[in-house]
Structure 1
């Protein structure tokens, strides 16, 4: 869980690629850090501080060799309502609390939980985030003073109504130039830092033409001194709920990003629990420097891997590059038009979920398509965490329904040469999974069998069994025995035997000999019952 020399064992072989990748990612991350800071309502300075401090700490302490961390669009979506309700000063406090929660999750070793989030849910909330990010850029794109709104779509509508068209012409022109350059430049070379080039070009044009557009404004020429954030006018207890939402998002997005990175190139295994520890420490460090909560950034991490990054050095270099920008070029950064950052984020939003992904989900199954659409709608209409919880719940219900449908009760003929009285014996095979979702239906189907003296319940094909399913087997035996029908249980699998005994199935049988391992033995025992019944002319017993 702690840094060691093993983290850098490949450095002698990869250091050149790591340096180049770190420089590339730093250039790519600069406009995004500024844009996400402004869009969240915390400010461009906070975005830069987060990218530097959190990016460095997560690189050293995280569980991925190539993860690049910093402010992200998803975090902006969660932070914006917090800024509206509690103010900008609360963000650093939230960062500390959320970071501590993520650290606790890592120490509790629950990093694998993210693997239980279904793909349609992940893509659904990603699509919702993209819509919100795009809506948040409308004020800056129209030259309206940027104010963080509790609901991005309403803020976009208000911005359209308040737009002043002489200014709109300038800002929309800047957005258009940025968008065109970001779409065209990668076609020349896929590693070209299109967003930075676009911002430099429009900033130079806006300065030369004395364009009447809002700019980032003055930035400090050094990192702020670390310290505990002020609690003046802030109730830390009231921030626990928002911090929990931030922590959940930080954990989910970081682990998903690390998984994506591991699939792009052989960059070593990802330690999910250590990744949570590193991301938690990163958010705590960011909060101490006045920044915002951080997560692993999928786009920047992908750029890192594709640029040749293979060890943590690349992410560390990325943070140092941004630090140099603060120390040397903060005056130049101050002149960047806000509309240029809006253009960057608008294109970023359109790339978050590709059309191919949307088509694949919509063409998969009706249930997955509805979960995808529903998660996206809830994300936009309410909030991200609610959307994830509802999406997971819906996916779980669909999975349980499908699993319940896979359970079957099949009445089989008795193999071999038929004997007199075989028509009084029913052999039923349970297939699939017998759990709470299917238990009642199985009970009804077997209990409805009539005109027999013996029912052999085959369990050898049963894949999974829970306590409810075991209890239903006991209830089936009770229901049959009350009607005078002998129940024989055949083929209990070793992994189910303890549960069967604990729930009391064996005690419900008329005789311990009615728990039989072989089907042939079970049929022969059932025939002996039928013979005695026919000889006696009444229902038999042992």
Structure 2
């Protein structure tokens, strides 16, 4: 039983069958484009859940207001742009997206990407950047890229998330110190320059405001965690600053309505300059939105799961719409989505109504909102950043496996020191490298001796050939023979002593063979032939034989199906030499 061949041989298609197969796949996907748009089914159950959805929308709107204002300021574009983004992108993504529970808008991760772009190209390019990124995300939806998020390891996601938390925290230094932001692409360098330029005789006032906001969050989280603490802290800080007459920066004038949609100025040179940033923003928008939707799916398993490609379509359209209204690039927001789920939302009405709440604030309360201290927003965002840094999870990932530890710390470091897209790519690369190393460690080239049990029974040398036992080396390949362990395989098999006259390579447990593995077998065959050693391969599948045939690894007659055939072949070939 232990030697039974459980390998599954993949079906091989003729060239004509392959063409028909891929034509069918393309046709199916083109037909499925219809599934990327809203339908009546999106609002199934609305009659019974509309009250809860509206209440959840109001709750999320209250939570989203300070975050939208704060991320607009933190990005360098302004509080008004953050509010416009939350309203426009929030509605469009809710209607067209693939998640019933996702809440979209400006996020901390996006501010991390935008700051260096604004420093290089100016604030005026941000709407065009949002439109270009949105078009790229739409292209991802049409090419079914959405499912790729399932392949991102947890260690990469968490390293990325905690790294963003660190960067968001550092980006609040200008707000809580009342100082101009240091001019540098690196957040670390910019933070250092900000500290160096701070006037500490004035900085104590915004610091006190930010500290008060953080203290209210800490106390409220302990005793009143169901209240909208961010909004309460903002209101208390604003009233306190007004009564004390403190000298701190305010948000300033906000529009009292949505601006008219306008296509930003565009030129071939500008599009070329923004191509790389747009790709980074699109990748981040897709990644963060799909991860946020996955979190929401895990929180409410009774709701229809997210359609990843439709979610990308919704986020792409939301970014295009946001850019047309002069807003920022937007993504699905994990924190606001989690609040939406915990508040009892069941349909998209909750996400739409959150945007309506923000619009009403803009229409009715803009003069009051303009008096909010910038330091209060900085304090709210520091609390948000702190919640993203889960120290317990850091300890867990550090001790789970070496692969998870290395991947996590590389992703975290790259997020803080480089940029977000590079961090994800490096993290995935490290995870793939560690997985290959892990697979290589479980790929075994084991030395065997006869007799041994096989699926055809016990196999041994025939009577009269017992003298061949010390002269025949048998190696069994378990698992994979691929580029990760090809060199080790060659070294082990060719290290047979001078008394060896024949080598049998058993491949009946080999599941994976790539071109490098076939080339390693070819190198073994060549070296053994040069030493006049008989070489027999046993037990390959048809696809493995095809790979070896294409790589010219060994002659066709060197391969046999069963071990008994291999032993008989060796006995015959060695007997002919006597």
Q: Does the pair score TM above 0.5? A: yes
Moved more, 406-415 or 121-130: 121-130
Give me the whole-angstrom Cα distance separating, in 1, the residues matched to 2:325 and 2:285.
18
Partner of 1:84: 119
Post-superposition shift, 1:65?
1.5
* Distance 1:499-1:10 versus aligned 2 partners, 3 A rule: farther
CA RMSD of aligned residues (A): 2.1
Equivalent of 1:174 in 209, 231, 244: 209
Which of 101, 125, 137 aligns to 1:66? It is 101
> For residues 403-418 of structure 1, what are the structure 2 equivalents within 5 Å?
403-414=439-450, 415=452, 416=458
1:504 deviation in Å? 3.3
Retained in 1: the 8 A contact 2:61–2:357? yes
List per-residue Cα deviations over 1:308-358 (Å, max 9, x = no partner): 122222111111111111111111111110000000011111111211111
Query: Counterpart of 1:479?
Result: 527
Mapped pair 1:105 → 2:140 = yes
Residue in 1 that maps onto 2:157: 122
**Matched residues in 2 for 1:114 and 1:371: separation?**
17
Structure 1 residue 385: deviation in Å? 2.2
Residue pair 2:398, 2:405 contacting (<8 A) in 1 also = yes
The equivalent of 2:235 in structure 1 is: 200
SS at match of 2:570: helix
Residues 232 and 435 of structure 1: is their aligned pair in 2 closer, same or farther, counting only changes over 3 Å?
closer
- 1:354 and 2:398 are equivalent in the alignment: no
Secondary structure at the aligned position of 1:460 is classed as strand
**Any stretches of 5+ residues in structure 2 without a counterpart?**
1-35, 453-457
Give the whole-Å Cα distance in 2 for the aligned partners of 1:431 and 1:122.
33
Contact 1:459–1:491 (CA under 8 A) maintained in structure 2:
yes
Q: Which residue of 2 aligns with 1:540?
A: none
- TM superposition score normalised by structure 2: 0.87
Which of the numbers 317, 331, 335 marks the counterpart of 1:281? 317
Contact in 1 for aligned 2:182/2:191 (Cα 8 Å): no
Q: 1:473 to 1:350 in 2, by over 3 A?
A: same
Note if 1:522 corresponds to 2:569. Answer: no
Please give the residue correspondences for 1:328-343 in structure 2 after superposition, counting only pairs within 5 Å: 328-343=364-379
Selected match of 1:49 from 81, 84, 89: 84
In structure 2, the CA distance between the partners of 1:175 and 1:372, relative to structure 1 (3 Å rule), is same
Note the residue ranges of structure 1 that are not aligned, 5 or more in a row: 538-542
Which residue of structure 1 aligns with residue 19 of structure 2?
none
SS at match of 2:388: coil
**Equivalences, count:** 530
1:394 corresponds in structure 2 to: 430
- Per the alignment, residue 40 of structure 1 pairs with 75
- 1:490 corresponds to which residue? 538
Shift of residue 148 of structure 1? 6.6
In the aligned structure 2, how far is the partner of 1:180 from the partner of 1:337? 16
Whether 1:246 and 2:284 are equivalent positions in the alignment is no
Name the structure 2 match of 1:373: 409
**Aligned-pair CA distance for 1:196:** 0.7
SS of 1:410 mapped into structure 2: strand
**What is residue 476 of structure 2 aligned with on the other side?**
429
Which residue in 1 is equivalent to 2:24? none
Tell me how far apart the structure 2 counterparts of residues 311 and 518 of structure 1 sit (CA, whole Å): 61
Kindly indicate whether the alpha-carbon contact (under 8 Å) linking 1:123 and 1:353 is maintained by their aligned counterparts in 2.
no
Alpha carbons 1:39, 1:148 under 8 Å: kept: no
SS of residue matched to 1:63: coil
- SS state of the match for residue 351, structure 1? helix
Whole-Å separation in 2 of the counterparts to 1:483 and 1:355: 60
For 1:98 and 1:353, the matched residues in 2 are separated by 28
Q: Using the TM superposition, give the Cα deviation of residue 494 of structure 1 relative to its aligned residue in structure 2, in angstroms.
A: 4.7
TM-score (norm 1): 0.92
